Amino acid sequence: MAIDKPYNNNQYQRIVPFIFFIIVLFLFFKLIQPVIIMILGSALLAYISFPVCRKIRKKIPNESVSIILSLLIVIILILIPFTFLVVGIGQQGYYFYNSLSNTVAKGALFGFACNSEESTVCSLVNQAEKFSLDYLSRYGIDTQLQIYLPVIEEKIKKIILSIPLIIAQIFLTIVITYYILKDNNEILKKIGNILPMTSKTKKRLVVEFENIAHTVIYAQLFVAIVQGIVGAIGFYIFGVPFALLSGVLIAFFALIPFLGTSIIWVPASLYLILSGYFSQNYWILGKGIGLLLYGIFIISTIDNILLAKIVKAKANVSPVLVIIGVIGGASMFGIIGIFVGPILLPLLLTYLETFKERFI
């Protein structure tokens, strides 16, 4: 039995610190959980602001002034337009839902009618247009609309009431970003010392993070956002309703290979063309043709121009991972998660690969 004591002591010395580490990690997570979104937002804002700060620092030696100026530039160029965009999308989403509910209540689908009785196409369009409320009621669509409309109204009220809290969170995020930019070397060093990894694994994760973050933020999300903005501008010019919502959909589908942005602007173009043709309004018909050409020559080609001339991918990140990261990140962390999720997911997979190489 005396032989077993050293073995038992050795097991005790291994297990107890591990359990204590898990408890400390859990307590640490619970402490930062209320502000984790602000921390992630600050880290993302610091990553975007760092190149600007470094360039300003070359001309203005004062560190604090250069950091403040870089944050002001990023806030003016990104945060303020993004805030107006979110507000505009919320308003258009509300109007779209009301419009959809009214359209369904009337038993309408397309919103235009064809007057030519001899045309087979006109006959099909008019039959579809007479999609009655009774037929919709068979599937409970009208009932579902009546259920979800008050829910959406309640959510909008909650968002309006939470505006002061959101403003406070944005202010704290900017403050945290300032200190991240100021003490970034010390913060990275402390994080590196805390992480229970080998130096080789840490170096690999740092390199992968730089490549993945650049690829996801600039070569994928940035390009998709630009396509969404260009698409929204085109939809507004050619008179397509809910241009902001359409721009958001274009930005999302820009991340999907092969399918791409055409799934949004092609139906919109066809809608205007058919609407103008059947109503004999050649101005609307011309708008539809113009939007179709705009989509072919501008929306669909601007990503190739940006990737070839401005931003280049540093890592091969699957679009599937980006889409999963966007959806999963948004569900976990809200708007910030749209940008954090696509970076975090490939990074976690990279860590699992290093774990497998070392222990399995």
Q: What is the pLDDT of residues 93-111, one digit of tens each?
A: 667 666 666 665 555 555 5
Q: Read off the tokens for 168.
A: 């406070």
How do residues 222-249 score in pLDDT, each as one tens digit? 888 889 999 999 999 998 888 888 888 8
- The lowest-confidence range among 29-33, 69-73, 95-99, 107-111 is 107-111
CB neighbours of residue 149 within 10 Å: 15
In 3-state terms, what secondary structure has residue 106? coil
pLDDT grade for 145, boundaries at 50, 70 and 90: low
What is the distance between the alpha carbons of residues 229 and 182, in angstroms, rounded to a whole number?
A: 33
Residue 250 has pLDDT above 70, yes or no: yes
Residue with the bigger pLDDT between 44 and 156: it is 44
pLDDT grade for 121, boundaries at 50, 70 and 90: low
Residue with the bigger pLDDT between 342 and 125: it is 342
Contact 269, 286 (CB under 8 A): no
Per DSSP, 34 falls in state G
Contact 207, 237 (CB under 8 A): no
Determine the average pLDDT of the residues in 256-268. Answer: 84
User: Which residue type does 313 have?
Assistant: A
What is the distance between the alpha carbons of residues 109 and 125, in angstroms, rounded to a whole number?
A: 10
Identify each DSSP E strand in 39-171 by its residue range: none
pLDDT at 234: 93
Domain extent listing, the chain: 36-194, 197-360
Q: Read off the tokens for 289.
A: 């043709």
Determine the average pLDDT of the residues in 202-225. Answer: 82
Q: Please provide the average confidence, as pLDDT, over all residues in the chain.
A: 78
Q: Read off the tokens for 71.
A: 């944050």
Residue 254 has pLDDT above 50, yes or no: yes
Determine the average pLDDT of the residues in 156-160. Answer: 68
Residue with the bigger pLDDT between 252 and 21: it is 252
Candidates 262, 241, 265, 273; CA nearest to 121 is: 273
Residue 1 has pLDDT above 50, yes or no: no
pTM higher than 0.85 for the full model? no
Terminal alpha carbon distance of the chain: 33
pLDDT at 148: 66
C-alpha radius of gyration, the chain, whole number: 27
Residue with the bigger pLDDT between 326 and 335: it is 326
Contact 280, 303 (CB under 8 A): no
Q: Read off the tokens for 30.
A: 């619970």
The count of C-alpha atoms lying within 13 angstroms of the C-alpha of 197, restricted to the half-sphere facing its C-beta, is 16
pLDDT at 192: 77
pLDDT at 149: 62
pLDDT grade for 85, boundaries at 50, 70 and 90: confident
193: which residues sit within 8 A by CB, 6+ positions away?
A: none
Determine the average pLDDT of the residues in 287-316. Answer: 81
* Residue 225 CA from chain centroid, whole number: 9
